[in-house]
Structure 1
Amino acid sequence: MSDDTPAQAGSFEPEGPGREALDVLYRFVAALELAPTVAVHSTDRNGIVRYWNHTCADVFGITAAEAVGRPLASLASHLDREEDFKNTLELVWNTGRTAPPRDWHIRRLDGEERWLYSTHFPVLRDGVPQQLFCMEVDISKRKVDEAELIEAGANFRQLFERSTDAIVLIEGNRIIDVNPAALALFHCAAKPDIVGKTLLDFSPEVQATGETSVVADAAVTARAFIDGNYRYEWEYALADGTHFWAEVLLTSVTLDHEFLSYAVLRDISPRKAAEHALAMAARVFENSRDAILITDSQYRVIAVNQAFTTLTGIAAGEVMGGEVPGLRSGTHEPSFYQQIWDFVGVHDHWEGEVCCVRRGEDDVPVWVAVTAIRDSAEQISNYMAIMTDITERKRAEEQTRHLAEHDFLTDLPNRVLFLDRLHQALVSARRQHNKVAVMFLDLDRFKGINDSFGHHVGDAVLKEVATRLTGCVRGVDTVSRQGGDEFVVILADIGGVDQAAHVATSVMHAVAQPVRSNGHTISLSVSIGIAICPDDGLDVDTLLQHADVAMYHAKQNGRNAFSFFNADMNAHVIERVQIENELRHALSNQEFFLEYQPEVNIASGLTIAVEALLRWRHPQRGLLMPHQFLQVAEECGLMVQIGEWVLRQACAQARAWRDEGCPVVVAVNLSGAQFLHGGLAHSVDDALRLSGLAPEFLDLEITESVIMRGDEATMATVTALRERGVQLTIDDFGTGYSSLSFLRRYPLTKLKIDRSFVDEIPEHDTTANLIPAIIAVARSLKLRVIAEGVETAEQLMFLQQHGCDDYQGFYASMASTEPDLKPRPR
């Protein structure tokens, strides 16, 4: 919480007690402090007073401020029983057990003498006494009454009958008479209900021992005769099921020349309940995990528990009698604490976070609840502060917040934190009149890394890229992973586009360094789009959109490049979105159709197959070729659906031609998306079944990139297709990175040389060597070889000389909707 608003309540509960637990602690401490008839004080092992409640001030004539920190022995004397008193306290310390209550005759410092009925009990922590608490009741007036009763002599019978205290006459160990007050106390209608019994007859089956009672038997009676009187406490169980506690004064008396004893019983059940609550309060106070500090109305410390010392490193003796402001840390201004006291004085409660200095250590965050304790006159008598170390909670909250704001894989800021930082950067840019750049990065062909080497290698690559990107920017900049292989960089407070271009160049160089993971060496490149504020947008959404558009433009222009946003790029992206939307309706509107390009055998000149080529008859744009829409179809997930339509249409057309006497193989191109979809073999089965086409008349063309995946799923799919009897051609051979070891694993039937090699025949010397080498590779694998894109007689002659089997292209014929089986010129 801030220093200027200390009176604001906190927004979360402390790590230790919750709101209800704090209320319980408050009630316990208030019970200790405000007990109206019981004086409660405590001492440490050295006999130094550590706690002194308000009633002690009345009983001993000494305030808490004067008593705390002084030896108890210096505050009152026990007359001729001082040694006995010391032995009683020592016994409690040594045994850890409560001393039986007894009377003590004391002389105060002002000379006044009083009789106190005292119970001493230890407060344990881990079984070891930490403090010795004493609860004392002033019985000075009662002592006078008892003395008068004993001295009454001949008037005993009259006092016996009229006494408001229960009196029981005992002979030996039997009750021989009771007064009316005793009948009322024992809930008896007449004397026969009690006369003849012993006092023990009214005891519960399990009587408390060791703390506040002794055994009332013949031995006690005998001691009464010897000592004159004896006081003890006892719990009685009545016939109606009720219980009560009584203070019993057993006294010997001579009545009618007989030696008797009588017991004066006074119901002390309310006092016992109060004492129990006070004892519980003392134990809670000492054993609480939360630090508790109690002051008087002048903010002077009168009690602290052990948890306070653990939290602050300050011993109790160092703060007793001192003012709480002496505990201030250097973090908060003095006015901060004064506002807290002022707030509590009005509202009785305040809680919030405070920085506490632990001795010899760094500052500790502490949740503090300060409560005013008021007396019966509604005046503030004390203040109680409960302090909870929230270091672990703060650490856990920080960790939770970090997890919520950072990418789980790279630990870079995620989209949530990125948007917040971009918003702050834009606000600062408007205020400082400077520029901010947003760079949208996408790794080129990253999907192939996951497909070829596995996602664990892909994850390792992403982590390495994240590290490299962070190393390319300043501390004030932000690198964020948006998901997948997309990253975004905020370049705050830049001078202009040149600085952004420099960073983009550094990023491209860093990403281009080979990544080694799991025994693989992987080469990477990245496409980057850059938008500048305020030139390309003033708000978060606009800048991100324009940076994305620029990145897409960089990919369209060959990848491994960066591009700044401009309006023409945006128009291109808008057009792409329109095409995507129109593609989604093209199938249902029957706007697609197939054209067929013949594949001609070089030796015979006969058409041996046709390749199905997809065309889109767009209602507004006219005829669209595959390069104008297939990539969009791949990116928006429509390729599987379109591919299945092409497969069914091609098979149906091939069967129709076969029925017309033109048995020709139809070649259909497969996309990588159809392999990833997992239902390719089923789609082929459906197309063959619905058309009735024999499998050997279907040639499926697979791209080199699919073959290069080398994963088990791709291998299984290719094997399953070949087992069905269809032909399999590797398309666009030479444009990828396939090797003999990969090709040997697949049951292929044909290899198609990419048109980029054919275009360079015969001008390029390198091609003159590459094409024969490709044909030799195919021969070693027992594959037929077909060249695509043949447009001149020179190209065809070169292919024929080097043993190429088949060709296709405009030289063979213009694409047509029907096969032509006549020989072609060679």
Structure 2
Amino acid sequence: MSHGRLAGKPSPQRDEGITVSADKPAQAGSVEPEGPGREALDVLYRFVAALELAPTVAVHSTDRNGIVRYWNHTCAEVFGISAAEAVGRPLTSLSSHLEREEDFRNTLETVWKTGRTAPPRDWHIRRQDGSERWLYSTHFPVLRDGVTQQLFCMEVDISKRKVDEAELIEAGTNFRQLFERSTDAIVLIKGNGIIDANPAAVALFHCADKHYIVGKTLLDFSPEVQATGETSVVADAALASRAFIDGNNRYEWEFSLPDGAHIWAEVLLTSVTLDHAFLSYAVLRDISPRKAAEHALAMAARVFENSRDAILITDRHYRVIAVNQAFTTLTGRAAGDVMGGEVPGLLSGMHDASFYQQIWDFVAVHDHWEGEVCCVRRDDDDIPVWVAVTAIRDSAEQVSNYMAIMTDITERKRAEEQTRYLAEHDFLTDLPNRVLFLDRLQQALVSARRQHTKVGVMFLDLDRFKGINDSFGHHVGDAVLKEVAIRLTGCVRGVDTVSRQGGDEFVVILADIGGVDQAAHVATSVMHAVAQPVRSDSHTISLSVSIGIAICPDDGLDVDTLLKNADVAMYHAKQNGRNAFSFFNADMNAHVIERVQIENELRHALSNQEFVLEYLPEINIASGQATAVEALLRWRHPQRGLLMPHQFIPVAEECGLMVPIGEWVLQQACARARAWRDEGCPVMVAVNLSGAQFIDGGLVHSVEEALRLSGLAPELLNLEITESVIMRGDDTTMATIATLRARGVQLTIDDFGTGYSSLSFLRRYPLTRLKIDRSFVMEIPQPDSGANPPANLIPAIIAVARSLKLRVIAEGVETAEQLQFLKRHGCDDYQGYYASMASSDPDLKPRPR
């Protein structure tokens, strides 16, 4: 029969049985590490091999109906019936127990009812060929959940021994000669103990001579009697009496020998007349190897039946000779459906017969194959199964059987898939993470090269997201990220990929796009979707996003280049005002490289003392006197020269350096103002605050520390706050401003008119001054260009300030005409180039902001 039996017989319909999984085909001869532990498989193999290849013990099992379900090789020799002929037939039809047939049936029934092993005993049987045998049999149940499932029997052919025993009894007058020369251990028992022992008995009991035995009883060597110290004289006398009545009796005893060894012996107790005296003699044979084999076989039977893994055993011709209950549970096939037949078909249509032939060829060479396959149940459910096929060889190294062990790995596969999913997806948004994103981008690029299409990579960063976390808490920030993830997914196609890279950064793969127009359309949709207010924890949060776009092949051919260029484009969008998208180009890359260089150099500027402050005077319009100065930060770069704030402040804010720089500015400005005061010029100093200083949470401490170190009076320090910070309106910002004002510090709203402040909103803050943005002042000299030019808004702004009892200062005054306009409408102070020219202090020279 060919090895192709594993594949079964082709059928136009779907075969039931085992198939190779389509999503992960097994390799012929593969041994994958995720299979069941190899040690566990070896244990099962040893147990099953013990059942099948036991050289001296015939092992067979029957079900509740007396039908043979298992028949090993030794059974075939003892009963003269092969496994193929025996399996599936009633046990009682294979042999007869002569005049004790009813006794035999009662013995089996008792084991089924009680669930207890029957005492070993001799049975005289007649085989189907007419020959007779004596068998020494042990029947024991195999239980599962306390219920007997099968009845196993282990039998040893003792026909020759029976002949020897008969000859010994018939020897009569020659007993003494046989006693001395017998290879079996024999002891004579009279009355209360052993009176003689032959040389074989001395050897069996590991003694120097028979004096170590004579005078004792057999039960003196029992481990139980030795442990309790009980006497056994009466017991031996009773056994001897029974021998005279019954003729002979057989027992199995465990003996504890003088040297500490333990053996099992079969004891045949028989009556005899010797020298006109009635005695009994005991023939002892060492059955320790047999007992060990029986124990191993009993254990094998229990393991076979109770194993959680499905086990199927065939003969060398691939006919099934045994399956356990787990096989039925796994496949849905009852034992009766497969016993005696060929291996159930394994062909599913996903692989041809040659694939399975490779498995058998591999087993023929290596004796083992294992891999993952797909088991098809009767109800057509597919489940993943790990299968190990092993060839079992006899003592002549010939294959006698095949064993297949099958383990349901559904839960393990589900756990692996879950683990893989978690490893490839963001825990918060459930989007693909960077690992899965890079894999998909690589696949998209390979496909684009093959199809000559384009791939777009969009790098997205939420604008000012850190402020959301700091103002409302991280739980609100997490809710925002989840909502943004949902909106982004809704803006792309199924073939595209949205990934969260970490923090508030997202990346989108636009696969197989026609060109930049399609990418721009998606970017516009994303911006519109993100801009919709997010409601979380009773807060309504407005968002915007900056997007950078790189296109393959125009902006790069590999993953790293495309991601880098998309990131560059995103930074360009941020620097151009945020809430925008930008495509990558070479100039943009150079600009970003320069920005990175500035960031690196900026990190050392503070420690290298490269920052300086210049002061712009604020002039009272009515008196013409300087009442305050504004501290303006400059960076005296070693190579680039003097840099203005707009050249480095945005970078400092983005890279988190604005807080330490702001602390330095506060301390330097307060120290300079105190020096002027000591020189008799008590002038107020104004310091611009960054939004980052409010977010940091240490602003109040920084101000108090600067005042303490300098000794400057709080009323001489004026902190200028941008309108965007005021409009944020969170509780932390309001508390910080209130605390600073309570310390006596002056507070100015800077660049007023560039945001969306409302009168009712400004009333909530304890401000002292309002500064009109220079964009309004620049329009004053020009004639009206419309119904409501910017200059016409200045009187309205001043009116708002008056209603809030705020002092008004205008910045960016360059001409006398502008000054006169402000004076006419009631502005209090001004600053700018014209103010610097009017100042009498030579240190306060005209300087741009």
TM-score (norm 2): 0.89
Q: Could you say what secondary structure the match of 1:145 adopts?
A: helix
What amino acid maps onto 1:789 in structure 2?
A: G
Bigger Cα displacement from structure 2, 132-141 vs 379-388: 379-388
**How many angstroms apart in 1 are the aligned matches of 2:639 and 2:236?**
115
Measured after TM superposition, the shift of residue 474 of structure 1 is 1.4
**Equivalent AA in structure 1 for residue 295 of structure 2:** H
Q: Secondary structure at the match of 1:324?
A: coil
Measure, in 2, the Cα distance between the counterparts of 1:482 and 1:185.
79
Deviation digits for residues 144-202 of structure 1, max 9, x if unmatched?
00111111122222212221111222234533332222222223444443333322221
Question: Given the alignment of the two structures, is residue 344 of structure 1 paired with residue 354 of structure 2, yes or no?
Answer: no
Contact 1:597 1:816 in 2 (8 A): no
For residues 189 and 570 of structure 1, do their structure 2 counterparts lie closer, same or farther at Cα, with a shift above 3 Å needed? closer
Q: Which of 341, 347, 372 in structure 1 is aligned with 2:391?
A: 372
1:452 corresponds to: 471
Aligned to 1:12: 33
CA distance in 1, matches of 2:622, 2:704: 33
Q: Does 1:807 align with 2:835?
A: no
Between 1:25-34 and 1:425-434, the stretch displaced more is 25-34
Q: Aligned residue for 1:212?
A: none
Provide the identity percentage. 88
Q: Which residue does 1:787 correspond to in 2?
A: 810
Q: Quickly say closer, same or farther: Cα 1:350–1:666, change in 2 above 3 A.
A: same
Give ranges in structure 1 of 5+ residues lacking alignment.
209-214
Q: What is the alpha-carbon distance in structure 2 between the residues aligned to residue 620 and residue 821 of structure 1? A: 26
* Letter of the structure 2 residue corresponding to residue 429 of structure 1: A
1:721 to partner: Cα distance: 4.0
Partner residue in 2 for 1:243: 262
Q: How does 1:566-581 map to 2 (within 5 A)?
A: 566-581=585-600
Greater Cα shift, 434-443 or 580-589: 580-589
1:11 deviates by 3.0
Q: Confirm or deny: 8 A CA contact 1:598 1:609 kept in the other structure.
A: yes
Checking the alignment, whether the CA contact within 8 Å between 2:141 and 2:151 is kept in structure 1 is: yes
In the TM superposition, residue 254 of structure 1 has moved relative to its aligned partner by: 3.1
Tell me which of 85, 91, 110 is aligned to 1:91.
Answer: 110
Q: 1:777 to 1:266 in 2, by over 3 A?
A: farther
Give CA-to-partner distance per residue, 1:741-765, whole Å, 9 cap, x none. 7656655443434444545569573
- The structure-2 alpha-carbon separation of the partners of 1:403 and 1:161, relative to structure 1 and needing over 3 Å to count, comes to same
Task: Report the Cα offset of residue 568 of structure 1.
Answer: 2.5
Query: How far apart are the structure 2 equivalents of 1:195 and 1:493?
Result: 99
Per-residue CA distance 1:629-649 (angstroms, 9 max, x = gap): 210111122222322332232
Task: Give distance in 2, aligned partners of 1:741 and 1:146.
Answer: 120
Q: Displacement of 1:443 after TM fit?
A: 2.1
Pick one of 85, 105, 108 that aligns with 1:66: 85
Maintained 8 Å contact 2:58/2:72: yes
When residues 476 and 755 of structure 1 are mapped into structure 2, their CA distance, relative to the original with a 3 A threshold, is same
Q: 1:631 aligns with which of 650, 660, 674?
A: 650
Name the SS of the counterpart of 1:510 in structure 2.
helix
Q: 2:674 aligns to what?
A: 655
Q: What is the aligned partner in structure 1 of residue 9 from structure 2?
A: none
Q: 2:645 is matched by which residue type in structure 1?
A: P
Q: Specify whether residues 155 and 96 from structure 1 end up closer, same or farther in structure 2 by C-alpha distance, changes over 3 A only.
A: same
1:263-412 matched pairs, under 5 angstroms? 263-324=282-343, 326-412=345-431
1:252 partner letter? S
Secondary structure of 1:813's match?
A: helix
The aligned counterpart of 2:684 is 665
How far is 1:509 from its partner?
A: 2.3
**With CA pairs under 8 Å and 6+ residues apart, which has the higher RCO, 1 or 2?**
2
Q: How big is each residue's C-alpha offset from its partner over 1:436-477, in whole Å with a ceiling of 9 and x where there is no partner?
A: 111122223323332332222221121112112112211111
Shift in Å at residue 690 of structure 1?
Answer: 3.9
| Cα distance change of structure 1 residues 782 and 157 upon mapping to structure 2, 3 Å threshold | farther
3-state DSSP of counterpart to 1:614? strand
Q: What is the distance in 1 between the residues matched to 2:82 and 2:103?
A: 26
1:185–1:803 distance in 2 versus 1, CA, 3 Å: same
Task: Give me the whole-angstrom Cα distance separating, in 2, the residues matched to 1:358 and 1:817.
Answer: 100
Is 1:674 the counterpart of 2:697? The answer is no
| Equivalent residue letter for 2:197 | V
Q: Which residue of 2 aligns with 1:28?
A: 47
Cα distance change on mapping 1:695 and 1:819 into 2, 3 Å: farther
Q: Distance in 2 between matches of 1:501 and 1:116?
A: 91
- Which residue of 449, 462, 470 maps to 1:430? 449
Q: Equivalents in 1 of 2:29, 2:266: separation in Å? A: 50
TM-score of the superposition, structure 1-length normalised? 0.92
Farther off after superposition, 5-14 or 429-438:
5-14
Deviation at 1:118, TM superposition (A): 0.7
Give the aligned partner of residue 130 of structure 2: 111
- Alignment equivalent of 2:633, drawn from 611, 614, 625: 614
SS in 1 for 2:260: coil
Equivalent residue number for residue 243 of structure 2:
224
Instruction: Give deviations 1:524-549, integer Å, cap 9, x for gaps.
Output: 22222221111111111111122222
Q: Which of the numbers 561, 583, 588 marks the counterpart of 1:542?
A: 561
Report if aligned partners of 1:75, 1:109 keep a CA contact under 8 Å in 2.
yes
Q: Distance in 2 between matches of 1:549 and 1:635?
A: 15
Map Cα deviations across residues 350-389 of structure 1 (whole Å, 9 max, x no partner): 2211111122142111112222211111111122222111
How far 1:134 moved relative to its partner? 1.0
Determine if contact 1:675/1:714 at 8 Å carries over to the other structure.
yes
Structure 1: distance between partners of 2:296 and 2:525: 73
The Cα of 1:728 is off from its aligned counterpart by 3.0
- Alpha-carbon displacement from aligned partner over 1:547-567 (angstroms, at most 9, x marks no partner): 222222223333333222222
* Separation in 2, partners of 1:679, 1:101: 90
Equivalent runs, 1:413-812 vs 2, <5 Å: 413-709=432-728, 714=733, 717-718=736-737, 721-722=740-741, 724-736=743-755, 747-759=766-778, 763=784, 765=788, 778=801, 782-791=805-814, 796=819, 799-800=822-823, 804-812=827-835
Distance 1:448 1:640, change over 3 A: closer
Contact 1:607 / 1:820 at 8 angstroms: preserved in 2? no
- Aligned partner of 1:168 among 178, 187, 192: 187
Return closer, same or farther for 1:6/1:542 CA change in 2, 3 Å cut-off: closer
Secondary structure of residue in 1 paired with 2:88: coil
Does the residue aligned with 2:612 lie in a helix, a strand or coil?
A: strand
Asked if structure 2 preserves the Cα contact closer than 8 Å seen for 1:13 and 1:19, the reply is: no
Counterpart of 2:509, as a letter, is: I
How much does 1:339 deviate?
0.9
Structure 1 residue identity aligned to 2:812: G
The alignment's C-alpha RMSD in Å is 2.9
Structure 2 equivalent of residue 39 of structure 1: 58
User: Partner letter of residue 637 of structure 1?
Assistant: G
Q: Cα distance, 1:801 vs. partner? A: 5.7
In structure 2, give the amino acid aligned to 1:658.
Answer: R
Cα drift, residue 222 of structure 1? 3.8
Alpha-carbon distance between aligned partners in 2 of 1:124 and 1:739, rounded to the nearest angstrom? 85
Q: For residue 666 of structure 1, report the CA deviation from its aligned partner.
A: 0.9
- 1:39 deviates by 1.0
Distance 1:742 1:245, change over 3 A: farther
* Contact 1:331–1:355, Cα closer than 8 Å, also in 2: no
| Equivalent in the alignment of 2:5 | none
SS in 1 for 2:511: strand
Q: Are 1:440 and 1:488, in contact at CA under 8 Å, matched by a contact in 2? A: yes
1:75–1:758: structure 2 CA closer, same or farther, 3 Å change rule?
Answer: farther
Is the contact made by 1:634 and 1:673 (CA closer than 8 Å) also made in structure 2? yes
Query: What code does the residue aligned with 2:246 have?
Result: D
Structure 1 residue identity aligned to 2:27: P
